[in-house]
Chain A
Amino acid sequence: GEDVEQSLFLSVREGDSSVINCTYTDSSSTYLYWYKQEPGAGLQLLTYIFSNMDMKQDQRLTVLLNKKDKHLSLRIADTQTGDSAIYFCAETLNTGFQKLVFGTGTRLLVSP
């Protein structure tokens, strides 16, 4: 199947680290993505990781990839109230064009 699974909800306090987890199904995915969606807005690309990498860091964001377990995580350091949003992970399917399969999204709530 093409299911990408995420937990639905995460609540943290401002200044803490947030870790959002995702499991995917296609071991041949070449890219794995994290997108952010704020209320009333479209999807904003946060970061992506190539399947031959196991970690990528970009400022406050750290992506970890465990290909054996097909597990992807997004860590946000020093979480701020402006990070409150829905976070989607997505895997790519090799269909000749880029087909993304999205998870259901994790709603992150950051409290002061």
Chain B
Amino acid sequence: ETGVTQTPRHLVMGMTNKKSLKCEQHLGHNAMYWYKQSAKKPLELMFVYSLEERVENNSVPSRFSPECPNSSHLFLHLHTLQPEDSALYLCASSQVRGPSTDTQYFGPGTRLTVL
């Protein structure tokens, strides 16, 4: 257990569905991250929230919409996804300390399949 939980662990959805992924961290961190892990590709950073403000959005399609209501929770809202969006979605958290930050701790991921 890393102190970062994700739900659901597995999700199958159609292209017209709307669903949300949830991440919760119990480490007292103030930064949270969404990554996408596809087969045979490096982990891709999607979004970063630091102190509940979005600080990075790596040109992610608008069909992915993040939400960070507080420092412990992070959501990824999904709508009208494509089959190529099927992947493992990983959440991570870290503690921002001024100009440098601490280690990122990862959740177990949500395995998403888009039919």
Contact = CB atoms under 8 A, between A and B. Distances in A.
Interface of A: 4, 30-31, 33, 35, 40-45, 48, 88, 94-105
A104 B40 contact: yes
A41 B42 contact: no
Contacts of B109: 41-42
Contacts of B108: 41-42
Contact of A98 (B40, B104, B106): B104
Contacts of A31: 103
Chain B contact patch, size range:
20 to 34
B81 interface: no
B102 A96 contact: no
Given A96-B55, A96-B99, A97-B56, A45 B105 contact: yes
A45 B103 contact: yes
19 contacts: A33-B103, A41-B108, A42-B106, A42-B109, A43-B92, A44-B106, A45-B106, A48-B103, A96-B55, A97-B31, A97-B48, A97-B96, A98-B96, A99-B45, A99-B56, A100-B43, A100-B45, A101-B42, A102-B43
Contact of B43 (A44, A48, A88, A95): A88
B101 A97 contact: yes
Interface string B1-26: 01010100000000000000000000
